[in-house]
Amino acid sequence: MNAAWIKTTAQELGFHLVGIASAERPPEADFLQEWLRKGFAGEMTYLSRNVEKREHPRLLFPPARSIIVCGLSYHSRTDETERISPQPIGQISRYARGADYHHVLKEKLFALLHLMQADTPRPIVAKVCVDTAPLLERACAKSAGLGWIGKHGGVINPRYGSWCFLGEILVDFECEYDTPMKDGCGACTRCLDACPTGALIAPYTLDARKCLSYLTIEHRGVIPETLRPALGNCVFGCDRCQEVCPYNQQADAPGLAEFLPRESLKHLSLEWLATLSEHDFPHIFADSPILRTGWRGLLRNTAVAIGNSHDRDLLPVLRQLSRSPESLIREHAEWGMTRLLS
């Protein structure tokens, strides 16, 4: 099938980036097992499952011969002004301020696959993947020429930076493949220097156990006390390593409607978050990545953020959280009260 036609069609569907790579085992797969062996994945045990499939696309999907990798920027200029608020707010990572990217990407990827199928007389055997599949998608994106893997671990494109979602279609035909880009980070270490917990222990190496995104989203238990002050007002994710990247600071901002910050998420009052009920949580954050952290996790994070806020007017809110039947919430609320009063 014609590679140029695939790319043009993908762009017409709204994808900002598209490239094609052979479904070979990527060189970056060599680092996966060593990274897991060192325990850097923390509680993300799902990364230890299907390791062989993660390392080789053809073990995940035997018919695969090529991988079509598509990128969709979620960057918008409104992200740069939305933090202004007269009251303490909870900070949410940029990628989670709009619609759930899984749904948006899958819809566009299946639309692309449908158009590809309509353009060829033979059936296409294919598999659509969006980050929940055991696939080294950043390595695939690098192989497909979408960008290079930056020192913070994300794929950096010269035009769109690392503010991009990735999705893939594994197909059973060979195609004209793209050439990987050269690493453009050079001697820059701004992302490593900006990490408040030292989670980026070396270029291209993340110890997730110290990462604020991991601690506020994937981690289900108690946040280590030594790391709580570094959370600041983060209640879901952290963008600090990305925000300081020179490529991200000058990146194009398409401002796709699906990923524009919801009005309800622009100024999330910490006081309001602390009163959120378990019943209301799934309704308020429907079709949002924030569902990933769960109600208990969000209130745990909120208690820490209030403790870091220096706003003693929020002490009554923490006292109320300290009476929660959930021990996870109680412990962090008690810590927050101690920090506000110290």
Dump pLDDT digits (tens) for 248-296. Answer: 999 999 999 999 988 877 788 999 999 999 999 999 999 999 999 999 9
Spatial separation of the C-alpha atoms in residues 253 and 248, rounded to whole Å: 10
In this prediction, residue 86 has a pLDDT band, given cuts at 50, 70 and 90, of low
Active-site hit among 30, 79, 119, 131:
131
* Mean model confidence pLDDT for the chain: 94
- Whether 193 sits among the annotated catalytic residues: the reply is no
Q: Which has more confidence, 336 or 133?
A: 336
pLDDT surpasses 80 at 177: yes
Q: Average pLDDT of 154-180?
A: 97
CA distances from 274 to 30, 84, 92, 111, 321 (A): 44, 20, 15, 41, 7
Question: What is residue 84's predicted lDDT score, i.e. its pLDDT?
Answer: 46
pLDDT tens digits for 41-60? Answer: 999 999 998 899 999 999 99
* Domain spans, the chain: 3-75+98-171, 190-253+261-341
Question: What is residue 50's predicted lDDT score, i.e. its pLDDT?
Answer: 85
Question: What is residue 80's predicted lDDT score, i.e. its pLDDT?
Answer: 53
What length does the chain have?
342
- pTM of the predicted structure, to 2 decimals: 0.93
* Percent of the residues in the chain that have a pLDDT greater than 70, as a whole number: 97
Spatial separation of the C-alpha atoms in residues 75 and 154, rounded to whole Å: 15
pLDDT surpasses 80 at 82: no
Q: Average pLDDT of 111-131?
A: 96
pLDDT tens digits for 71-81? Answer: 999 999 875 54
Question: What is residue 81's predicted lDDT score, i.e. its pLDDT?
Answer: 47
